[in-house]
Amino acid sequence: MAGDYAQFLKRLFDLDQDHISQEQITKLNSIFDQYECQPDELKNISQLYYTLSKWLRAILVYTKQQQQIQ
């Protein structure tokens, strides 16, 4: 089980934020549009979920800004 967590963290750290597809962006936005996926709701469930959602939202902001620059 620890290997699963290590692999998950490795994939997060290795994420190529400069090449996130529009399909991935759309999926993330549809997830974040759900009430139960709002930061305040996630914070009540788990600090890990809350932190991960904040990180993913930051990636989305970064991607949007990169698209505007190009």
CA distances (Å), origin 14, targets 7, 40, 47, 51, 57:
10, 27, 22, 18, 17
pTM assigned to the model? 0.77
Q: What is the mean pLDDT of the chain?
A: 88
Pairwise CA distance, residues 42 & 7, whole Å? 23
Query: If you average pLDDT over residues 27-31, what whole number do you get?
Result: 91
Statement: residue 1 has pLDDT above 60:
no
For the segment 23-52, the average pLDDT, to the nearest whole number, is: 90
